[in-house]
Amino acid sequence: MAKAARDAYGPIVEAVGAVPLTEFQRLADQVHTVPLRLDKIDDALAALLGAQAPAPVRAPAAAAKKKAVKKK
């Protein structure tokens, strides 16, 4: 019944200049795939960060000590 209604009203809707239903369906499909793509990107970024070696962290006291020595 819904298909018959789309087939009957679709050309009428397009004739008056409105956006066809197929465009709404295409947009809905694209909107649905955006979170899936973002999840894939997030997973790939997490894998890259996990594979990356952590940078050495300098102790704040050692940095302050070096500055004090340089000032003298």
The mean pLDDT of 54-58, rounded to a whole number, is 66
pLDDT in tens, 26-41: 988 999 999 999 999 9
pTM tops 0.95, yes or no: no
Residue 72 pLDDT > 60:
no
Judge contact between 10 and 23, C-beta under 8 A: no
Judge contact between 29 and 44, C-beta under 8 A: no
Judge contact between 58 and 50, C-beta under 8 A: no
